[in-house]
Structure 1
Amino acid sequence: PRQTPHKRGTPLIVRDRVLYMGDVLALVAAETHEAAAEALRLIRVAYKPLPVVVDPREALSAGSPKIWPEGNLLNHGKIRKGDIEEAFRAADVIIENEYRTPPVDHLYLEVEAGCVAPLPGGSYQVWCSTQQPFLIRNNVARVLGLKGESAVRFIQTLPGGGFGGKNEASLDVSLRAALLARATGRPVKLTYSREESLIASAKRHSSIIRYKSGATRDGRLVAVEIEIYLDKGAYAASGGNSPPAFKRATYHSSGPYDVPNAKVDVYIVHTNHPYGGQMRGPGCPQVHFACEQQMDQIAKALGIDPIELRRINGLKQGSRTAWNQRLDESVGLLETLKKAEAASGWKNRGGSPRRAPDGRLRGFGVASCLYGTGNAYSPAEAHLFITSDGKIRVAAGVVDFGQGSKTVLCQIAAEALGIPFSEFSMGAVDTAIDPFGGTSSSSRVTMQGGMAVYRASLKAREELLRLGGRLLEVDAEDLELSGGVIQSKAHPETKVSLAQIADAYVTDELKQIGAADHIPPASVTCKETGLGHPYEVYGFGTQVAEVLVDPGTGEIEVTGVWAAHDVGKAISPMGVAQQIEGGVYMGLGFCLMEEIVQKDGRMHNPDMHGYLIPTVEDVPDVLETIIVEEPYSNGPYGAKGVGEQVTVPTAPAIANAVCDAIGIRFQELPLTPDRVVMAIAKAANGGN
């Protein structure tokens, strides 16, 4: 069986071919770790080497070995808008470069783990840390050949981070534990070691991006031609033929700009590397790294301030995107530019000494982004209950893995009901109780889950007024709910508390008082041209970075980041600020240090000594978060999500700042000290 029904999905146990280092050849169950390790030592495997495919562009060549009989190409996406040849002829400046980004691991603190137990009657119970509870429930049932939703019950454990990685990898551990539980008839727990996690789990797709931009002398973009190769690794994983990174790379590659003519080709290609999967902002950090450096080079060629160039071309209300989608509301890019410019003192940056007293060189950089939210593949449902003590419980089937979704969803319900936030609770997902909530990824929880909770709360309000009216013998329309008390509009002294309603009507632990769903509008695009409406609405952001670069050691210190992000409406301002901060840290790691090092399909740094991530010592001295609110009419109270866009512009902002400091443009990540020192030495030797 495979991780998913897709014919190129990850096999739970390989049969005759190993396609990457993380493939599983055998499963061993034992009562102790020592016994399991001893059993593994007794297994002998004979290998016959096969040709290795490691470069996604070369994998499409006619002479490349085929990983899959049908070929190495998983999918090809495109955008065709206008006449790029004519547009480039009219351009006064053309910038063309190739960029590369590496595979990156999520490196969540908690490695993948799952437990599966057989129950009397032939059903199973699963405990796992995941972002997709219902996907695990359904696939465990599929792999075990069980029918009916009650055949498998999934209970969420408290997750230690996800960032997209606990979509696919949590499936792997749950399904393999399920196979062993069926074989032994006993509960089985499977936990990856850190080395196993690094070797076997999904990665941010590495990329090769060829980018050509044309502009007129007044700074107007006239055309882009973009060719992107994404390394899918050995297997298709849970995204099937069209994983999120593939779609997002296609529709975000031109950045948050008004581009009248565009040709975009995205190829997602199999190699003998770990499979590419979802990771915070899938596909977007890669393409914005290229796009935003192109913008700075255009600005330099034309003698235009980088922020002003972005302002000239930035999307605004009424603009059409490179895929011809008209943006009618909630377009906050220009405001993020304005706020980041002011907060960072951008116009006065020339007043800062270019060389610090210790000899390090100072530089400033800017980058902007857009990020599609909504249209995230699935609807959402929500149920509201009143408990026996008069509290309100929210059930939405979505996972809070640290991003604060429980807080946000309860805040939405509290606002809609007129009941204090302290009266609300939301438990861990239990598929036997909770409604379907979809995946906790793709910046969809506040949008989809929030709208479902909002609508369910309005129905719950009606039900509580009805129940209160029965107790008070007053028509529901003559009552109001405020501060957790139902009272007569005409005679406020005539009132009843939620606890009294619970005493009268809750005969068990819970009574359902509201239920609703939210179905996002369909993603509609033309197969031939790619034009259309891939996302419901977009978030926007601008970040300014300040760096100090040591020309002797190549070390880069990010001393300041000013991050302005349009989130629609900040339901939880503190939570939004924390999301921005965390996104900046992750973007900093992507830019300066994080990289899965591979050669001939073998990983050379499968541990936390070799795979570096930012620590508290890497946090900028100044990190200012700026919330921009451009409400969206179809989001709960105007919200449109924030969790993923915030990591997108950080790397290009830092890269542009490094170029400003030392005058060298880097087209490959990460910007490690050795890479910087070599570039400085090469420049000093005239490029040799």
Structure 2
Amino acid sequence: MSGEEEILRRFSAIEQAREFYIVGKKVARVDSLEAVLGKPIYTGDLVTGDYVFVRAVRSPYPHAKIKKINPEKALNMKEILGVLTHADIPGENDAGSLISDRPLLAVDKVRHYGEAVALVIGSSIESVDEALAKVEVEYHPLPVVTNPIDALKPDAPRVQERGNLITHFKIRKGDVEKGFEKADIIVENTYRTQFMDGMPLETEVAYAIPEENGRITCISSMQNPFDVYNKVVKILGLPAEKIRVIQAATGGGFGPKSDETPIDVAAYACLAALKTRKPVLSVFTREESVTVQCKRHAFIIENKTAATEDGKLVAWKSTLYEDTGAYISKGHLVIARATFHCTGPYEVPNVWADGYCVLTNNTMAGSTRGFGAPQAHFAAEVQMDILAKKLRMDPVELRAKNILIPGSLTATSQKIDDSGLEVCFRKAVEESAWHQRRREYEEFNKRSMYVKRGIGIALLYHGNTLGPEGEDFANVHTRIERDGTVIIQTGLTEYGTGAITSLAIVTAETLGISLKNIRVERPDTSAVTSAGPTVASRTTVIGGQAALDAAKQLRSRLAEVAAQVLEAKPEDLEFKDNRIYIRDSPERGLDFKHVVEKCYEAGVGLEVEGYYIAPATKWDPETGQGEPYNQYTFGALVSEVEVDILTGMVKVLKMTAVYDAGKVINPLGLLAVIEGGSIMGLGHALTEELIHENGIVVTPNLHTYLIPTTAETPLNIQSIAVESPGRIGVFGAKAMGEIPVVLPMASITNALAHAIGVHINETPLKPERILKAIQQNV
């Protein structure tokens, strides 16, 4: 065994046995002070000097042929520098994030409302806005289909030439018909969830700067710089070295900024910069962003569930229809995750599920925080409550009989290997005082005529990171400057989650230094290689492993040099408190900076690339059986609500949120994730809905698309983390970024049902929907 291998072996042993130095401790985000002081540099902050503007001419029709585009009136305007159509694209007219089914600018047909057909470039935003209306586009409207079930009918309008069915995803476990035959009770219900928008505070924006050497640098707001870079290179038809993409500080992402519109806004700016040789600003209005940004998919889910009279599940059949809009985006992957999780976190011996990803003429859906899990868990968890009511059983009792425990098999026959769900479930019931509160609310409802209260629970399991959705890798570039400052740079991005702080924590832990000695630099395609997408809550779990790999390499090099000075073995050294010392003789040591200086004097390189790739997952696409994910996050959410039965208005009083984080790397960051996700999910349950009327978006702004405010926020969100280490995450960490948004729809719906005595199977829980349910239940 080499010296370096022995150092790494000893360090791994220490990891298993020691008390962590920084990991799991309450530390500030690496960017916290800058954020509080307003120092982050957003794209808009960089715009200066002589620059021009570009905006898109967008279709007023959800489905139409383009017969003619006449830009003459716009071009006659003094301040207009150009109008571009698909014919002016020098490279490939391809702006699909994963699948090349979507043009940057429409060619002969528009397939959804707001689709871009031309670009207008001008020296002022006012002139560009005026010119947009002067570009004459002659359309021939076509029939529209806006319901995924209707879109599957043989005579439905064809959205794309390939047909409207994109993916049919299947799960086949056991013999579902025999399971139904053995059942004492069967419940069947149809559930509907709405289109939702991630609504990041900052809309899509890009600033493209042409340079003297022919390169165009594009600074933009995004989650995946390399996805944007690769598409812009393709669209402009330039050599790869002629495009540079830098992620500026990004004002929220939530998934949509990992899909198509970041490609659009960057490509618009770069095309205009290529034509004018001037710096170009491209920024979407709020209405544009809400209209064309990828949405959370609307789902229709039909569940049929069977159980014995004592509450054991014996069969489950699900049919899921996912409306992905006019282009595929990530729809084929979202339906897979939704179908994998369609039975909820329960052991069911016989499962039959069909998931359909379907094109319609609605605006495009794609990645949004949770990626199909909120819709699937909503249908499963409300179904479980309805089943419990039929069995005259407490919802907690029914769940206790069926939850996934070590040795249980999921719907895909994957064996569960940790007790995270059990612990979360038990803790949520205890901390919420479930049984006591349920009795209290039932007594309250007998006394109160117009105000009712209820308590509801929902559980989850969530396959971590990409799984079957793609190659799950990351890399992190780390170097140590001569003054001892550690610089981290990666293609993984920060857009408000704080996840990048976890990479700094892992690095500081491994090198035994203070977090303030670490600086994280922004992603830059000219400085780092692709680290995979910043999606699926991957940064801490997968990116953390790459950061650990880089830090271990540096630790090994530092240990070799320090050992020579201290006349000790490298493997006997400890790194802690900005010192490197002999483990059994802590008084014999050196300052970290001193060892760094010795490395520079000796010519020992302190710049490395850390890399990690998760094991490939295996499953059978014909049956859905196998292990689609390497590990699972588990969770439980108890919600308590109050409803005015005269107005239908709901107030969430309290949430008790318990999640299995595997290993908590950053406790303060995790608390923010749980609270923020819970409030975002509350909006999904109660107020948020992107409404299409015959394909046209009618809620394109914050006046009509209602996100939660402090007035709707519960006074008490009790956030609890448990630790049941995962198999692949750094130090045992599990994915947490998306998780808290998954359960509020189901938990709040179940709490409302306890209050008013009837379940509502469609979200959002609008007052008029609640009043109708109450009237029908009288």
Return the TM-score normalized by structure 2.
Answer: 0.84
Moved more, 401-410 or 479-488: 479-488
Shift of 1:449: 0.2
The alignment status of 1:300 with 2:394, answered yes or no, reads: no
Moved more, 197-206 or 512-521: 512-521
Moved more, 85-94 or 348-357: 348-357
CA-to-partner distance for each residue in 1:628-652, whole Å, 9 max, x for gaps?
1111143211101211121111111
Q: Assess, with a 3 A threshold, how the Cα gap between structure 1 residues 364 and 493 changes in structure 2: closer, same or farther.
A: closer
The secondary structure found in structure 1 opposite 2:642 is strand
The secondary structure found in structure 1 opposite 2:384 is helix
The alignment status of 1:155 with 2:246, answered yes or no, reads: yes
CA-to-partner distance for each residue in 1:504-545, whole Å, 9 max, x for gaps?
5559xx964433211111121112111111111110111111
1:453-464 → structure 2 map (5 Å cutoff): 453-464=547-558
The alignment status of 1:247 with 2:336, answered yes or no, reads: yes
Q: Assess, with a 3 A threshold, how the Cα gap between structure 1 residues 346 and 494 changes in structure 2: closer, same or farther.
A: closer
Is contact 1:133-1:154 (8 Å) kept? yes
Shift of 1:496: 3.2
Match of 1:143 among 207, 224, 235: 235
**In the alignment, which residue of structure 2 is the partner of 1:341?**
429
**In the alignment, which residue of structure 2 is the partner of 1:533?**
627
Is contact 1:463-1:513 (8 Å) kept? no
Question: What is the rounded CA distance, in whole Å, between the counterparts of 2:282 and 2:771 in structure 1?
Answer: 44
**In the alignment, which residue of structure 2 is the partner of 1:677?**
771
The alignment status of 1:404 with 2:498, answered yes or no, reads: yes
Shift of 1:621: 2.0
Match of 2:749 among 650, 655, 659: 655
Question: What is the rounded CA distance, in whole Å, between the counterparts of 2:733 and 2:640 in structure 1?
Answer: 30
The alignment status of 1:646 with 2:743, answered yes or no, reads: no
The secondary structure found in structure 1 opposite 2:415 is coil
Question: What is the rounded CA distance, in whole Å, between the counterparts of 1:425 and 1:511 in structure 2?
Answer: 19
Is contact 1:464-1:513 (8 Å) kept? no
Please tell me the residue identity of whatever aligns with 2:113.
M
**In the alignment, which residue of structure 1 is the partner of 2:208?**
116
Question: What is the rounded CA distance, in whole Å, between the counterparts of 2:448 and 2:401 in structure 1?
Answer: 37
Q: Assess, with a 3 A threshold, how the Cα gap between structure 1 residues 163 and 97 changes in structure 2: closer, same or farther.
A: same
The alignment status of 1:230 with 2:230, answered yes or no, reads: no
The secondary structure found in structure 1 opposite 2:736 is coil
**In the alignment, which residue of structure 2 is the partner of 1:196?**
288
1:614-633 → structure 2 map (5 Å cutoff): 614-633=708-727
Return the TM-score normalized by structure 1.
Answer: 0.95
Match of 1:362 among 442, 450, 453: 453
Match of 1:174 among 253, 266, 279: 266
Match of 2:685 among 588, 591, 595: 591
1:313-352 → structure 2 map (5 Å cutoff): 313-329=402-418, 331-349=419-437, 350-352=439-441
Shift of 1:678: 2.2
CA-to-partner distance for each residue in 1:661-684, whole Å, 9 max, x for gaps?
111211111111111122223333
Q: Assess, with a 3 A threshold, how the Cα gap between structure 1 residues 594 and 489 changes in structure 2: closer, same or farther.
A: closer
The alignment status of 1:44 with 2:136, answered yes or no, reads: yes
Is contact 1:394-1:410 (8 Å) kept? yes
Shift of 1:42: 1.9
**In the alignment, which residue of structure 1 is the partner of 2:731?**
637
**In the alignment, which residue of structure 2 is the partner of 1:548?**
642
Shift of 1:309: 1.1
CA-to-partner distance for each residue in 1:305-334, whole Å, 9 max, x for gaps?
1112111100011111111111223x4111
**In the alignment, which residue of structure 2 is the partner of 1:10?**
102
1:262-661 → structure 2 map (5 Å cutoff): 262-329=351-418, 331-349=419-437, 350-352=439-441, 353-355=443-445, 359-376=450-467, 377=470, 378-469=472-563, 476-477=570-571, 479-488=573-582, 495-506=589-600, 512-661=606-755
Is contact 2:691-2:697 (8 Å) kept? yes
Is contact 1:374-1:520 (8 Å) kept? no
1:20-99 → structure 2 map (5 Å cutoff): 20-99=112-191
Is contact 1:586-1:647 (8 Å) kept? yes
The secondary structure found in structure 1 opposite 2:254 is coil
Is contact 2:207-2:269 (8 Å) kept? yes
The secondary structure found in structure 2 opposite 1:342 is helix
Question: What is the rounded CA distance, in whole Å, between the counterparts of 1:611 and 1:491 in structure 2?
Answer: 63
Is contact 1:333-1:541 (8 Å) kept? yes
Shift of 1:431: 2.0
The secondary structure found in structure 1 opposite 2:186 is strand
The secondary structure found in structure 2 opposite 1:28 is strand
Question: What is the rounded CA distance, in whole Å, between the counterparts of 1:511 and 1:554 in structure 2?
Answer: 66
Question: What is the rounded CA distance, in whole Å, between the counterparts of 2:545 and 2:571 in structure 1?
Answer: 24
**In the alignment, which residue of structure 1 is the partner of 2:41?**
none
The secondary structure found in structure 2 opposite 1:242 is helix
Please tell me the residue identity of whatever aligns with 1:365.
G
Shift of 1:41: 2.8
Q: Assess, with a 3 A threshold, how the Cα gap between structure 1 residues 615 and 44 changes in structure 2: closer, same or farther.
A: same
CA-to-partner distance for each residue in 1:539-588, whole Å, 9 max, x for gaps?
01111111111110000111111111111111111211111111111111
Please tell me the residue identity of whatever aligns with 2:733.
A
Which runs of 5 or more residues in structure 1 are unaligned?
none
Question: What is the rounded CA distance, in whole Å, between the counterparts of 1:565 and 1:372 in structure 2?
Answer: 14
Question: What is the rounded CA distance, in whole Å, between the counterparts of 1:500 and 1:166 in structure 2?
Answer: 43
Is contact 1:180-1:188 (8 Å) kept? yes
CA-to-partner distance for each residue in 1:264-290, whole Å, 9 max, x for gaps?
100010011111110011111111111
The secondary structure found in structure 1 opposite 2:444 is coil
Question: What is the rounded CA distance, in whole Å, between the counterparts of 2:728 and 2:328 in structure 1?
Answer: 33
Shift of 1:6: 6.1
Is contact 1:53-1:65 (8 Å) kept? yes
The secondary structure found in structure 2 opposite 1:96 is strand
Is contact 2:291-2:697 (8 Å) kept? yes
Shift of 1:374: 3.3
Q: Assess, with a 3 A threshold, how the Cα gap between structure 1 residues 539 and 578 changes in structure 2: closer, same or farther.
A: same
CA-to-partner distance for each residue in 1:194-253, whole Å, 9 max, x for gaps?
00111111000001111000011111111110000000101122x3x733x112111111
- How many residues end up aligned between the 2 structures? 678
Please tell me the residue identity of whatever aligns with 1:362.
R
Identical counterparts, % of pairs: 38
Q: Assess, with a 3 A threshold, how the Cα gap between structure 1 residues 362 and 234 changes in structure 2: closer, same or farther.
A: same
Shift of 1:473: 6.6
Is contact 2:255-2:367 (8 Å) kept? yes
The alignment status of 1:184 with 2:276, answered yes or no, reads: yes
The secondary structure found in structure 2 opposite 1:233 is coil
Question: What is the rounded CA distance, in whole Å, between the counterparts of 1:676 and 1:490 in structure 2?
Answer: 68
Shift of 1:351: 2.4
The alignment status of 1:164 with 2:258, answered yes or no, reads: no
CA-to-partner distance for each residue in 1:465-521, whole Å, 9 max, x for gaps?
2233455676534544322222345765554323234445559xx964433211111
Q: Assess, with a 3 A threshold, how the Cα gap between structure 1 residues 489 and 310 changes in structure 2: closer, same or farther.
A: closer
Please tell me the residue identity of whatever aligns with 1:428.
R
Is contact 2:490-2:522 (8 Å) kept? no
Shift of 1:123: 2.2
Q: CA RMSD in A?
A: 2.0
CA-to-partner distance for each residue in 1:5-49, whole Å, 9 max, x for gaps?
766533111111111112001101112112212322321111111
Question: What is the rounded CA distance, in whole Å, between the counterparts of 2:151 and 2:425 in structure 1?
Answer: 40
CA-to-partner distance for each residue in 1:332-390, whole Å, 9 max, x for gaps?
11111111111111010202443376831011111111111034523101222112321
Please tell me the residue identity of whatever aligns with 1:292.
E
Q: Assess, with a 3 A threshold, how the Cα gap between structure 1 residues 10 and 511 changes in structure 2: closer, same or farther.
A: farther
Please tell me the residue identity of whatever aligns with 1:346.
W
Please tell me the residue identity of whatever aligns with 1:543.
L
Moved more, 129-138 or 430-439: 430-439
Is contact 2:477-2:610 (8 Å) kept? yes
The secondary structure found in structure 2 opposite 1:35 is helix
Is contact 2:428-2:638 (8 Å) kept? yes
The secondary structure found in structure 2 opposite 1:370 is strand
Is contact 1:561-1:620 (8 Å) kept? yes
Please tell me the residue identity of whatever aligns with 1:482.
K
Is contact 2:120-2:131 (8 Å) kept? yes
